């Protein structure tokens, strides 16, 4: 029997790189595409193409001959990045997404999975730290995150329309803050778990680190292994409507810092900077529909996932220091 064939866009990025490895282990033939190669280790893809998916001709060139498209390519980052570049992110992702789904239809691709985001949910439901977990139907009436979230919401609708009008089996997966080894940990696009691991790794026991906001804002965080397994299970399901993929283990940012410090075996003093980007006050995933569709949900506890994540980031921070790279955030020495 011939192997199943998959295209993974964004295969040079965090989730795409892990997904390629997962699919290869499942005996898929995988074509990875990205505007850059993976930064931290070689891709496991059978074929890897470097090209710019904002261009329609590149989308058409890479899409043929596969059974499944896992479309993860996007201009994305943590809240510091997505709240600062609305025009650029919106135009880049609009071009990438419209051209990819159009190319998929032209090439008669049967299955197309889109990586959406919890950023599609309305801001008016996320003003409190003890937030009610977000259900899929809460996305409307809409008031998504400016730029990045609004574009994700529109692409979900394009997936719905292409499913209804052209019969493509589309999937829209709303990821809730994903972390793990081999994820961006510096440079400005990093999300809170990686940023906090980097900050803790970069200081001595008893030193001070800077936390954005007052530390009372809340999130749930999903470990990368659960994320790629969830992506695969959702692709194989028959559920075309948007679906949350996250955990419902709600923690404050200060609690996240304490867990990282505990994993590192350090005590850190927190200073809070409320002038930094904070995003919504509270966000959690309601996994009822995920459980009923898949009979499965992410199960890695935050502390467990942070053990391997911290170990990897700590090693990167040490290597950066040996190479003489300047620390992303200078340490504040203990009194």
Binding site for ligand GDD (CB under 6 A): 76, 78-80, 82, 117-119, 148, 175-177, 190-192, 195, 211-213, 217, 219, 253, 276-279
35 counts as binding ligand NAD under rule CB under 6 A: yes
Min dist CB 281 to ligand GDD, Å, is: 8
Contact 235, 310 (CB under 8 A): no
70, 154, 175, 232: which one contacts ligand NAD (CB under 6 A)? Answer: 175
6, 7, 8, 16: which one contacts ligand NAD (CB under 6 A)? Answer: 16
75, 151, 207, 229: which one contacts ligand NAD (CB under 6 A)? Answer: 75
Min dist CB 51 to ligand GDD, Å, is: 23
Q: Which of 202, 209, 206, 203 is nearest to 186 (CA)?
A: 202
From ligand NAD, ligand GDD, none, interface partner of 10 (C-beta below 5 to 8 A by class): ligand NAD
From ligand NAD, ligand GDD, none, interface partner of 219 (C-beta below 5 to 8 A by class): ligand GDD
For residue 30 the two structure tokens come to 């995988």
CA angle in degrees (0–180, nearest 5) for 19-313-251: 80
Min dist CB 172 to ligand NAD, Å, is: 11
Of 58 and 117, CB closest to ligand GDD: 117
24, 43, 115, 244: which one contacts ligand NAD (CB under 6 A)? Answer: 115
Q: How far apart are CA 256 and CA 26, in angstroms?
A: 33
Active-site pick, 22, 70, 81, 148: 148
From ligand NAD, ligand GDD, none, interface partner of 237 (C-beta below 5 to 8 A by class): none
Size, binding site for ligand NAD by CB under 6 A: 26
72, 103, 200, 231: which one contacts ligand NAD (CB under 6 A)? Answer: 72
Q: How far apart are CA 283 and CA 134, in angstroms?
A: 7
Sign of CA dihedral 265, 311, 223, 99: positive
Of 205 and 304, CB closest to ligand NAD: 304
Of 111 and 266, CB closest to ligand NAD: 111
Instruction: Tell me the residue number closest to ligand NAD, measured at CB.
Output: 13
Query: Roughly how many angstroms between the first and final C-alpha of the chain, as a whole number?
Result: 67
Q: Which of 176, 308, 196 is nearest to 244 (CA)?
A: 176
178, 196, 251, 316: which one contacts ligand NAD (CB under 6 A)? Answer: 178
Min dist CB 175 to ligand NAD, Å, is: 4
Annotated catalytic residue 166: no
Of 97 and 252, CB closest to ligand NAD: 97
């Amino acid at each position: 029997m011939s192997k199943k064939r998959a295209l993974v866009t964004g295969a040079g990025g965090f989730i795409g790189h892990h997904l390629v490895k997962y699919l290869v282990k499942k005996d898929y033939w995988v074509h990875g595409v990205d505007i850059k190669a993976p930064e931290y280790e070689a891709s496991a893809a059978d074929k890897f193409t470097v090209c710019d998916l904002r261009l329609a001709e590149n989308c058409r060139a890479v899409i043929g001959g596969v059974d499944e498209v896992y479309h993860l390519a996007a201009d994305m980052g943590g809240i510091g990045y997505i709240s600062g570049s609305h025009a650029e992110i919106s135009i880049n992702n609009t071009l990438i997404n419209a051209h990819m789904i159009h190319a998929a239809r032209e090439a008669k691709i049967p299955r197309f999975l889109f990586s959406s985001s919890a950023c599609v949910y309305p801001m008016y439901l996320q003003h409190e730290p003890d937030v009610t977990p977000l259900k899929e139907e809460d996305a409307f009436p809409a008031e998504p995150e400016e730029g990045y979230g609004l574009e994700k919401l529109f692409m979900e609708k394009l997936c719905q329309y292409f499913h209804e009008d052209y019969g493509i089996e589309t999937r829209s997966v709303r990821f809730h803050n994903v972390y793990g080894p081999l994820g961006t940990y510096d440079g400005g696009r990093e999300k809170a778990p990686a940023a906090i691991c980097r900050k803790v790794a970069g200081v001595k026991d008893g030193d001070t680190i800077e936390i954005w906001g007052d530390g009372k804002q809340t999130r749930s965080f999903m470990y990368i292994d659960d994320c790629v397994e969830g992506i695969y299970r959702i692709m194989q399901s028959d559920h075309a409507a948007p679906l949350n993929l996250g955990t419902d283990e709600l923690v404050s940012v200060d609690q996240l810092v304490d867990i990282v410090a505990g994993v590192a075996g350090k005590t850190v003093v927190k200073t809070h900077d409320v002038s930094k980007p904070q995003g919504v006050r509270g966000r959690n995933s309601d996994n009822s529909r995920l459980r009923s569709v898949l009979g499965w949900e992410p199960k890695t506890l935050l502390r467990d996932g942070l053990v391997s994540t911290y170990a990897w980031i700590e090693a990167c921070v040490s290597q950066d220091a040996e190479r003489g790279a300047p620390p992303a955030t200078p340490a504040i020495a203990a009194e």
